[in-house]
């Protein structure tokens, strides 16, 4: 059902500082900063040979990642995003199998302009999973 690993997201306390670590320290190309108000975050993507790394920074204390940052003030891995060809079919299959879709189950538009949903980390061994329709 799942396709390619689209990205691994890392929540960070300071997006510009984290971007500099990857750019200056590792020689990575860091994309432009995007504000995703509906998701409560600012993001920047780093392209690597076989996937991307998404750096996430909370817009404010109402951000969905604010509680994660409160528990992990230095940041850390936040989620993994997998591509799926049919998001609705994937959600139906997962819900039928007992997985929980976060929020009201309505896909939102993600950073790549495509529909996304998040799956409860307790249903995937403690890992928050994002599904993105491609």
CA–CA distance, 61 with 66 (Å, rounded to integer):
5
Q: What is the CATH number of the domain that holds 81?
A: 3.10.180.10
* pLDDT higher than threshold 90 for residue 23: yes
Q: What is the mean pLDDT of the chain?
A: 96
Query: Do the beta carbons of residue 93 and residue 1 sit within 8 Å?
Result: yes
- Active site includes 130? yes
Structural domains of the chain, count: 1
Q: Give the structural domain span for 109.
A: 5-133
Given the residues 54, 57, 83, 130, select the one marked as catalytic. 130
H helical segments located in 58-107: 66-71, 87-96
pTM of the model: 0.94
**What digits encode the pLDDT tens for the residues 28-82?**
999 999 999 999 999 999 999 899 999 999 999 999 999 999 999 999 999 999 9
Could you tell me which residues are beta bridge partners of residue 119? Answer: 101, 129
Q: Tell which residue, 11, 5, 36, 34, has the closest CA to residue 109.
A: 36
Residue 3 in tokens = 């396709």
């Amino acid at each position: 059902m799942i396709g390619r690993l689209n990205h691994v997201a890392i929540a960070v306390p300071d997006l510009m500082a984290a971007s500099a670590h990857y750019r200056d320290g590792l020689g990575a190309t860091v994309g432009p900063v995007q504000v995703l108000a509906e998701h409560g975050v600012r993001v920047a993507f780093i392209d690597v040979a076989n996937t991307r790394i998404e750096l996430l920074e909370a817009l404010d204390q109402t951000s969905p990642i604010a509680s994660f940052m409160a528990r992990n003030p230095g940041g850390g891995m936040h989620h993994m995003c997998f591509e799926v060809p049919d998001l609705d079919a994937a959600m139906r299959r997962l819900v039928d199998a007992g997985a929980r879709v976060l929020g009201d189950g309505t896909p939102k538009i993600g950073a790549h302009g495509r529909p996304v949903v998040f799956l409860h980390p307790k249903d995937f061994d403690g890992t928050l999973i994002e599904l993105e329709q491609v």
